[in-house]
């Protein structure tokens, strides 16, 4: 038996087996198929990607600048979107659908108008709450978290010490 030659075969991926793997599957030779798969290297660092990595393309901003396109329409509403939507409604009543399409192309409005004054809840959930529950809701704050790694380290040490004290007591 040629154990040493099998050891030095350095099979990395199934492409090196050629059509032998396919013939083993078509012929129903399970033992040959299992042996060929067992000879493949399990190390993922040795595998070579079969497909070449795609060439880095241009970003969306570069393509918009090249084709002289406007920035994309906003996804969520801002202050000027409410004014633009009111202007589109007035334009529809005065000029019709073709005027609204022209205005949408010139001044796009947002795709989503989230509810306002619901403290971050969906509208149907917020309106289903009683007045008492609405009063207990905290005000929605848009401010980011004011934290630093030093504060986190100190609070973790304090939590560990409190847990140790509770375990002893």
| 76 phi and psi angles, rounded to 5 deg | -115, 155
Per-residue confidence (pLDDT) for residue 47, from 0 to 100: 61
**pLDDT tens, residue by residue, 39-79:** 776 666 666 666 677 788 888 889 999 999 888 888 888 88
pLDDT confidence of residue 65: 92
Q: pLDDT tens, 10-20? A: 666 666 777 88
In 3D, which of 11, 36, 15, 12 has the Cα closest to residue 24?
A: 36
pLDDT band at 1 (very low <50, low <70, confident <90, very high): very low
φ, ψ for residue 112 (rounded to 5)? -130, 130
d(CA 6, CA 3): 5
Higher pLDDT: 2 or 99? It is: 99
Residues 134-154, mean pLDDT to the nearest whole number: 71
Phi-psi region of 19 (alpha: psi -120 to 50; beta: other; left: phi over 0): alpha
Helix (H, G, I), strand (E, B) or coil at 116: coil
Q: Is 56:20 a contact under the CB 8 Å cutoff?
A: no
Global pTM value: 0.38
Q: How far apart are CA 138 and CA 119, in angstroms?
A: 8
Cα(33)–Cα(69) distance, integer angstroms: 55
| Higher pLDDT among residues 46 and 135, named by residue | 135
CA dihedral 126, 79, 101, 105 (to 10 degrees): -130
Domain spans, the chain: 1-56, 71-139
93/80: higher pLDDT: 93
- Please work out, in degrees rounded to the nearest 5, the angle formed at the alpha carbon of residue 145 by the alpha carbons of 72 and 156: 140
Residue 32: is its pLDDT beyond 60? yes
Tokens of 80: 């000027």
Q: What is the Cα–Cα distance from 46 to 16, expressed in whole angstroms?
A: 13
90 Rama class: left (phi>0) / alpha (psi -120 to 50) / beta: alpha
pLDDT tens digits for range 82-115: 888 889 999 999 999 999 999 888 888 888 888 8
More confident: 162 or 1: 162
């Amino acid at each position: 038996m040629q154990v040493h030659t099998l050891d030095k075969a350095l099979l990395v991926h199934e492409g090196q087996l050629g059509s032998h793997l396919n013939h083993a599957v078509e012929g129903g030779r399970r033992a040959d198929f299992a042996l060929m798969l067992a000879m493949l290297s399990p190390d993922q660092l040795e595998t070579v990607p079969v497909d070449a990595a795609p060439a880095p393309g241009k970003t969306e901003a570069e393509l918009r600048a090249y084709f002289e396109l406007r920035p994309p329409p906003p996804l969520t509403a801002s202050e000027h979107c409410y004014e633009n939507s009111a202007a589109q409604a007035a334009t529809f009543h005065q000029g019709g659908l073709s005027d609204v399409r022209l205005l949408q192309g010139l001044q796009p409005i947002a795709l989503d108008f989230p509810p306002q004054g619901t403290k971050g809840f969906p509208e149907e959930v917020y309106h289903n709450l009683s007045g008492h529950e609405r009063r207990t809701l905290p005000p929605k704050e848009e401010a980011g978290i004011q934290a630093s790694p030093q504060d986190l380290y100190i609070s973790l040490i304090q939590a560990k010490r409190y847990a140790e004290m509770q375990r002893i007591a």
